Structure 1
Amino acid sequence: MERDPRELGGAWRASQRHAFAAPSGELARYVARYWTVTWEYERPYRQLVVPLPNVHLSFRDDRAEVHGPSSSHVYRELAGAGSVFGVAFRPGMFRPFLGGPVADLRDRMVDAAMVFGPDLPSPGDVESVERFLLARLPAPDPQADLAARVVAAIAEDTGVTRVDAIADRFGLSVRRLQRLFADYVGLGPKWVVRRYRLHEITERLAGGTDIDWAETAAELGYADQAHLSRDFRTIFGEPPTRYAQRYELR
């Protein structure tokens, strides 16, 4: 299939704008960031969206939706002019708002009213969203805090490539860690480890770094390059070398 040239070399920046804002102090325990995407396309564009283990509350037009954690990439069609405003919750910290296992939201989108009730805030207004969430702050949940700390450790420590190693660090059995992630993160710890290690590849690609794929596979805990490529394609939608074409040449 012929590739859309708007995917290549950072050309998407001509038609999209991304902005981010930090939450207030009280909400920083639960919210990772606020984000806004605006676009304008004369003809529809097939946007690749790659997953991270966050739950999102999004506002687009007159719709408010909760998007559970995705186990794989998805595509969204962007057409004409539009925008979406979103709240990215810290992995592990949406469970207290939901009142049930986050695994129930895996690979799903639900109407935000099903979680928060009908009196939703104005879309795209950070202050009203903050007031809305502050009025609904859940009771402290030590298990949510634990799940968030484990995910943060996986994200920050590039040496973490094994689930048993991160379980040992936090004094947990692998089975208990798996149950904690199903309840609070919605994705398994093995998936989370793989996702953050593969993210390091995209960071290197974005920086124009030449990559020795066999060496990188071993460094990230893969048996061989083929296994790395398979996981990368599942999560990012393309083999690593094809995905690299999305970045500007340096």
Structure 2
Amino acid sequence: MASRASDDIERAHLRDPADRSFTIHRRLPPASLRPWLRRCWIPVWDVPEGERAEQRVLQFPVCLMITTPAYSRFVGPNPGLSTTVLEGRSWGFGVMFAPAAGAVLHGGGLRELAGGHRELEGVPTLAGLTAPLRELMAQGPDEDEVHAACCALVEERIAGLGPPGEEDLLVNAIVEEVENDPALCEVGQLCDRFGLGERALQRLTGRRLGLTPAWLIRRRRLHEAADGLRGDEALAALAARLGYADQSHFTHDVRTATGSTPGELARRWREG
């Protein structure tokens, strides 16, 4: 994997700007594996004794794996807000899979795994990785060489999946289309672009992602909102740019997803 990935998932991470307790290292996969892998990420934290650092993430429509000294899990897509509490001094080794990979690795549809997880050792392609990953990370959680070795272990397993099939490529393309086109605001637009009926699209994303097409669009808009709230754009202008009919609907969506209003998030990020 490349030595560092760009910090392109920060908009999904509702990080408190005052929180300096952790660092996240990132690495991109080789091009040949990108139909299955998006990136590896390695958080390393040192939280003062007696304190806790809650991390809140508006997850992308993908599955993850995360190994720490305490647990090792294969994590389904989270339709809500993902929260993790960091304590003490430790590390994690994580992998963000491509949208198509989740159901293939899980061995079936993702509806039942959405918002949940299973033990990594129960996933056939990934079984046996926990111990060597922990041994490597213990040698130096902040070291590039350690990160590269850990990523290589995962890459070797994922390479065994072989080339993606037609449906795998379609799932990746649908998610990429939604994530990269702010003008795509209606499920009907997505159906038209891929020549699918709405029911067929619903069945496909439900089975392969554990999510609905409407959720994909809402989540993209929330990620855009998080980006905008870190800048100096007026809230009303941001709501209009994101396609909301009025600011109250924008406020409702952000508060429902994050527990905070756009104004509260903006103040925290802009003053932090």
Q: Give the structure-1-normalised TM-score.
A: 0.87
Structure 1 position 147, deviation (Å): 1.2
How many Å separate the matches in 1 of 2:103 and 2:200? 17
Go from structure 1 to structure 2 and tell me whether the alpha carbon gap of 1:194 and 1:110 turns closer, same or farther (over 3 Å shift). Answer: same
Matched with 1:134 is 159
Listed as ranges, the matches of 1:30-45 within 5 Å are 30-42=36-48, 43-45=51-53
Aligned to 2:85: 77
Cα distance in 2 for partners of 1:164, 1:209 equals: 33
CA distance in 2, matches of 1:53, 1:65: 17
Secondary structure of 1:126 counterpart: helix
Question: What's the offset of the Cα at 1:63?
Answer: 2.7
CA distance in 1 between counterparts of 2:248 and 2:192 reads: 29
Deviation readout 1:178-201 (Å, 9 max, x if unpaired): 111001111111011011012111
Indicate yes or no: 2:254 matched with 1:232: yes
- Checking the alignment, whether the CA contact within 8 Å between 1:93 and 1:148 is kept in structure 2 is no
Corresponding residue for residue 147 of structure 1: 171
Whether contact under 8 Å (2:76, 2:102) holds in the other structure is: no
Q: Paired residue for 1:169, among 193, 207, 212?
A: 193
Aligned position for 1:114: 122
Q: Which runs of 5+ in 2 are unaligned?
A: 1-14, 138-149
Taking only aligned residues, the RMSD between alpha carbons, in angstroms, comes to 2.0
Long gaps (5+) in structure 1: 1-6
The percent of aligned pairs where both chains have the same amino acid is: 29
1:165–1:186 Cα change, 3 Å? same
Q: Give the whole-Å Cα distance in 2 for the aligned partners of 1:112 and 1:118.
A: 6
1:94 aligns with 2:102: yes
Q: How many angstroms does 1:248 deviate by? A: 4.3
Q: For residue 26 of structure 1, give the secondary structure of its aligned residue in structure 2.
A: helix
Using the TM superposition, give the Cα deviation of residue 75 of structure 1 relative to its aligned residue in structure 2, in angstroms: 2.2
Tell me the number of residue pairs that the alignment of Structure 1 and Structure 2 aligns.
Answer: 239
Retained in 1: the 8 A contact 2:224–2:242? no
Q: Give 1:141 deviation, angstroms.
A: 2.4
Contact kept in structure 2, 1:49 and 1:74, CA below 8 Å: yes
Provide the C-alpha distance between the structure 1 equivalents of 2:100 and 2:268, rounded to a whole number of angstroms. 31
SS at match of 1:247: helix
Residue 26 of structure 2 corresponds to which residue in structure 1? 20
- Please show how residues 159-238 of structure 1 align to structure 2 within 5 Å: 159-206=183-230, 208-213=231-236, 215-238=237-260
- Give the TM-score of the pair, scaled to structure 2: 0.81
Q: What secondary structure sits across from 1:94 in the alignment?
A: helix
Q: Deviations over 1:76-102 (max 9, x none)?
A: 211111111111011233222222012
Aligned amino acid, residue 23 of structure 1: P
Tell me, yes or no, if the aligned pair for 1:120 and 1:132 is still in contact at 8 Å.
Answer: no
Cα distance change, pair 249–102 in 1 and its aligned pair in 2 (3 A): same
**1:81-140 deviation per Cα after TM superposition (whole angstroms, max 9, x unaligned):** 1111111011233222222012221000110122226422522511112122223x1563
Deviations 1:183-236 (A, max 9, x none): 111111101101101211111222x222232x4434434343222222212322
Amino acid at match of 1:11: A
Partner amino acid, structure 2, of 1:97: L
Does structure 2 retain, via aligned residues, the 8 Å contact 1:96–1:139? no
Q: Could you list the structure 1 runs, at least 4 aligned residues long, displaced by more than 4 angstroms after superposition.
A: none
Question: Whose relative contact order is higher, 1 or 2, with alpha carbons under 8 Å and at least 6 apart?
Answer: 1
The secondary structure found in structure 1 opposite 2:248 is helix
The 8 Å contact of residues 22 and 32 in structure 1, kept in 2 or not, is answered as: yes
- Give the AA of the match of 1:217: A
